[in-house]
Each structure stands twice: as structure tokens, then as C-alpha cells.
Amino acid sequence: MKKNIQKLIEEQRAFYKSIVSVSCPILEETVFFTSEGFNHLLYKSNRQPRKFSERYMKLMCLKHAPEVLKKCTNVSDTRQVKKTIKGKSKLGVRHEIVCEIKKGTEIRVIVEKIGTGKAKFLSVMPHNNRSKPPKKPKNTRKGRSSVC
């Protein structure tokens, strides 16, 4: 199983590096795909590895991120953030961009911009009703995901 996730990580890392940047009309900015974004797919902000299922889900959705940024017509949420960079506290903004990629499947992309810096891809995941987790059918195998 670990070999499979390692293979997926390497494949997605190569894809990620090939993207470099995408023009996002809704933000009126170019969104850059930096190493920080890819690391965020694999690790939490406190440098703890994400769960296997979470890594897999994010990596499988990654292929849709450029499409979402190019085609999206609305920003679903914008939040002010405070980040410490090199010992200094800086203000920034995080945008949640949601787009339907196929009927019944929505993908959410998080874009972050700190201060006057460039807009950077931060994360990607399936978009669902976050206030109430969906109920799982009783007759499914544990760990299977059909999100992306």
C-alpha cells in the first residue's frame, strides 16, 4: 500500500511541477503553484503528516485544480488570515473557489495571498456541505473514495 501512495505522490508531484501558474479570471490574478502548496497537500500546517485517506483524496483532486481556477465564476468564501513569516506577522487573504467539474461533482481550491505577494495555490479538495458530514451508506467498504 505504501508503494502505491509513493507512486501516486511522485506522479502528482511531476504534474504539479508542470503547472507553474494559471490565470484566474475571477480573482483577476495569476495563481502560482509553489512547493508550499504541494507540501500542504501532504502535511498539516504543524508539519504533521495528513492521514492516508486525506492525502489520497487531495492528490486525486489535484488534476482538477487548474480547470477550477480557469473556469470558476464565483468565489465562495474569502477570509482574512494572519501568518508569521521570518518572525514577522503579516496579514493576508484566503479565497475558496468552488466549481462543478462534472454533474454532481464540485471541487474546492484554496488560494492564498499574503500582503502584496503573489497569489498561491494552497489546497484542493471535494466540495460538500461542510456543516454536516454526509452519511455513509451501510454497505460500503471502508477507505474507498469516489470523490474525484
Q: What is the pLDDT of residue 132?
A: 40
DSSP code at position 16: H
Q: What is the mean pLDDT of the chain?
A: 86
* Residue recorded with cell 475571477: 26
pLDDT grade, residue 34 (50/70/90)? very high
CB count in 10 Å sphere of residue 123: 18
Residue pair 106/38 in contact by the 8 Å Cβ criterion: no
In degrees and rounded to multiples of 5, residue 78 shows phi and psi of: -130, 130
What confidence tens digit (pLDDT) does each residue in 54-112 have? 999 999 999 999 999 999 988 888 999 998 888 888 999 999 999 988 888 899 999 99
Provide the pLDDT for residue 45: 80
